[in-house]
């Protein structure tokens, strides 16, 4: 038989078109698309279903080291399982360097953590914290050659924040090697200043996390990152943009012809600063950086998605358990928001939220949904067209969606290591019922059928978006 599997009778959508056809799969690849592909060892009935490229979440944190006493809620097994239930077939977490560490060793250690643990495919970005001559001259160029073609730099956080000259040096290596730089844009000194003042005034509850990093903190850093990138002539991705003022910086830079890309996340569409104002420590559940803003910022982030200013919609999944002294209830965190672990879970809810709030409410088309959640991630990070689309020759990474299924999001439905979801009680319409990785189901009709180790590490090519202007 020509096919191992045929997905029959569904509505297929890619980033550019929607059509009814069968999907023929052999040896893990899509080998035919057509109206009636005949017989196969297995026929999967997808009538009344959408057949979409599996989601690619290019911004997740899994098993990442944090400050002493803090443990991330997901390892590779739980994080990738949750992602699979959320309709994803690939995630891109970060291999994080700490000061004094060899980046090559960090990558090796991260591979060891992921080995035989993953339910879906993974690839790693690098986080650069220690900008030494050895890193710039040898390690980084060698790692880019080996398929680690994107790295994140932080403009804030103790031990992670890079100075402007360090940013320039890293950007310069990115330009030379064709890597894509992802920037966490918040002004470290401004945050420290405001945090000190708030603490001196006794304002230490979780809600003051948002007060300590207001919009100008993000806007200024976004502007500075763009200016530094302009000096080097290197494209950059501003990750987790939370508001219109930071977005305007991207718009202005593009109007000058710069290659500046943007990403936003569910928390900036659905949550506000008010969510951090809970009883006792409840607000800690929503502490993430940049913090959620207000309704006007949410509306502007939707505009950014609609207008293509944001090409990526990622979860920034960064889970810490709530009811846990190694998580959000870290004892020190009760003395000040300064110590509350930053980050919220979201890898399992990203796709249903954008489908329901975006496609369901007429804000974006189904094809824009596919682009924002799968195809653009593959293109941006050097995985396309093997990943991120439904086309002959692509990996058979597919999510089958019931577009009518109504679900109330609740922690009881989640599969990761966290003990809460920030979206508890949110009603959504549309749900990924089955997820297939390279032709094999990981989740089928809502049940786990894959196993740890089915997912593989994928080395990436260079991003076509990372090509300098030549200025």
What is the Cα gyration radius of the chain? Answer: 21
Query: What residues numbered 407-426 form the site for Zn ion, per CB under 5 A?
Result: none
The single-letter DSSP state of residue 225 is: H
Q: Which is nearer to Zn ion, 184 or 213 (CB)?
A: 184
Q: Nearest approach, Cβ of 366 to ligand DUC (angstroms)?
A: 28
Residues 6+ apart with CB under 8 A from 327: 70, 71, 73, 320, 321, 341
Rounded Cα–Cα distance for residues 65 and 150 (Å) = 19
What would the x/- binding string for Zn ion be over residues 261 to 300, using CB under 5 A? ----------------------------------------
Q: Are 451 and 109 in contact (CB under 8 A)?
A: no
Q: Which is nearer to Zn ion, 3 or 313 (CB)?
A: 313
25 binds, among Zn ion, ligand DUC, none (CB under 5 to 8 A by kind): none
| Integer CA distances (angstroms), 430 to 150, 168, 349, 375, 468, in order | 32, 44, 11, 20, 40
- Least distance (Å) from ligand DUC to the CB of residue 350? 14
Nearer to ligand DUC, 289 or 373 (CB): 289
Residue in 130, 186, 245, 316 binding Zn ion, rule: CB under 5 A:
316
**Exposed e or buried b for every residue in 437-453, given b needs 16+ CB within 10 A?**
bbbbbbbbeeeeebeee
CB of residue 300 to Zn ion, shortest distance in Å: 19
How far is residue 326's CA from residue 91's CA, in Å, rounded to a whole number? 25
Q: How far is the CB of 207 from ligand DUC (least distance, A)?
A: 18
Q: Which stretch binds Zn ion (CB under 5 A): 158-166, 230-238, 313-321, 347-355?
A: 313-321
**What is d(CA 153, CA 126) in angstroms, rounded to the nearest whole number?**
9
Across-strand partners of 150? Answer: 180
60, 91 Cβ separation under 8 angstroms: yes
- 184 versus 387: smaller Cβ distance to Zn ion: 184
In the complex, least distance from residue 437 CB atom to ligand DUC, rounded to whole angstroms: 25
153 vs 353, which CB is nearer to ligand DUC? 153
Q: Which residue number, 275 or 316, has a Cβ lying nearer to ligand DUC?
A: 316
Q: Taking the complex as a whole, how short is the minimal distance between the CB of residue 289 and Zn ion, in angstroms?
A: 6
Q: What are phi and psi of 379, to 5 degrees?
A: -65, -45
Q: Are 117 and 450 in contact (CB under 8 A)?
A: no
Residues 6 or more apart whose CB falls under 8 angstroms from that of 43 comprise 5, 6, 8
Q: Which stretch binds Zn ion (CB under 5 A): 20-28, 186-194, 316-324, 446-454?
A: 316-324
Where does this chain bind ligand DUC (CB under 6 A)? Answer: 61, 184, 240, 288-289, 316, 318, 342-343
Out of Zn ion, ligand DUC, none, what residue 175 binds, judged by CB under 5 to 8 A for its kind, is none
Residue placing its CB nearer to Zn ion in the complex, 30 or 265? 265
Are 244 and 294 in contact by the 8 Å Cβ rule? The answer is no
Question: Distance between CA 358 and CA 352 in Å, rounded?
Answer: 9
Q: How far is CA 402 from the centre of its chain?
A: 23
Nearest by Cα to 244 from 215, 221, 273, 287: 215
Strands (E), 234-334: 236-238, 260-264, 312-313
Near Zn ion by CB under 5 A: residue from 104, 125, 184, 285 = 184
Whichever of 167 and 364 has its CB closer to ligand DUC, that residue is 167
Nearer to ligand DUC, 94 or 441 (CB): 94
Q: What residue 80 binds from ligand DUC, Zn ion, none (CB within 5 to 8 A, per partner kind)? A: none
Min dist CB 428 to Zn ion, Å, is 23
Residue nearest Zn ion, CB atom distance: 184
Select from ligand DUC, Zn ion, none the partner in contact with residue 342, using the beta carbon and a kind-dependent cut-off of 5 to 8 Å: ligand DUC
Query: Which listed option, ligand DUC, Zn ion, none, makes contact with residue 267 (CB within 5 to 8 Å by class)?
Result: none
> Which of the 8 DSSP states describes residue 395?
B
Q: Kindly give the pairing relationship between strand 312-313 and strand 50-53.
A: unpaired
Instruction: Report in angstroms how near the CB of residue 120 gets to Zn ion at its nearest.
Output: 18
Q: Which residues bind Zn ion (CB under 5 A)?
A: 184, 316
């Amino acid at each position: 038989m020509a096919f191992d599997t045929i997905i029959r009778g569904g509505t297929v959508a890619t980033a550019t078109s929607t059509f009814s056809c069968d999907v023929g799969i052999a040896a893990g690849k899509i080998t035919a698309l057509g109206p009636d592909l005949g017989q196969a060892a297995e026929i999967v009935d997808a009538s009344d279903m959408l057949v979409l490229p599996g989601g690619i979440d290019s911004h997740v944190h899994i098993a990442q080291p944090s400050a002493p006493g803090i443990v991330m809620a997901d390892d590779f097994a739980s994080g990738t399982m949750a992602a699979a239930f959320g309709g994803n077939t690939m995630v891109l977490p970060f291999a994080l360097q700490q000061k004094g560490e060899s980046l090559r060793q960090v990558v090796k250690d991260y591979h060891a953590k992921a080995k035989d643990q993953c339910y879906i495919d993974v690839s790693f970005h690098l986080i650069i914290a220690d900008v030494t001559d050895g890193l710039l001259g040898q390690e980084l160029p060698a790692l880019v050659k080996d398929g680690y073609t994107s790295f994140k730099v932080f403009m804030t956080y103790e031990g992670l924040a890079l100075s402007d000259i360090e940013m320039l040096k890293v950007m310069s290596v990115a330009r030379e090697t064709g890597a894509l730089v992802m920037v966490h844009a918040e002004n470290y000194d401004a945050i420290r200043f405001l945090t000190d003042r708030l603490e001196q005034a006794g304002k230490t509850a979780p809600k003051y996390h948002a007060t300590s990093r207001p919009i100008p903190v993000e806007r200024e850093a976004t502007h500075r990152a763009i200016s530094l990138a302009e000096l080097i002539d290197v494209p950059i991705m501003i990750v987790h943009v939370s508001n219109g003022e930071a977005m305007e910086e991207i718009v202005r830079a593009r109007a000058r012809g710069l290659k500046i890309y943007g990403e936003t996340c569910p928390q900036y569409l659905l949550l506000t600063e008010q969510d951090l104002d809970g009883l006792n420590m409840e607000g800690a559940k929503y502490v993430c950086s940049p913090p959620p803003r207000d309704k006007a910022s949410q509306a502007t982030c939707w505009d950014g998605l609609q207008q293509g200013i944001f090409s990526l919609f990622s979860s920034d999944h960064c889970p810490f358990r709530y009811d846990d002294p190694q998580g959000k209830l870290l004892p020190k965190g009760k003395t000040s928001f300064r110590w509350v672990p930053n980050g919220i879970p979201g890898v399992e809810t990203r796709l249903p939220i954008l489908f329901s709030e975006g496609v369901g409410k007429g804000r974006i088309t189904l094809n824009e949904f596919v682009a924002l959640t799968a195809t653009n991630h593959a293109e941006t990070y050097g995985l396309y067209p093997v990943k991120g689309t439904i086309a002959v020759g692509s990996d058979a990474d597919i999510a089958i969606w019931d577009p009518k299924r109504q679900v109330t999001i609740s922690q009881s439905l989640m599969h990761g290591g966290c003990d809460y979801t920030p979206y508890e009680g949110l009603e959504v319409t549309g749900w990924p019922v089955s997820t297939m990785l390279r032709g094999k189901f990981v989740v089928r009709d809502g049940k786990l059928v894959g196993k740890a180790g089915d997912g593989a590490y994928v080395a990436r090519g260079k991003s076509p978006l990372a090509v300098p202007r030549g200025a």
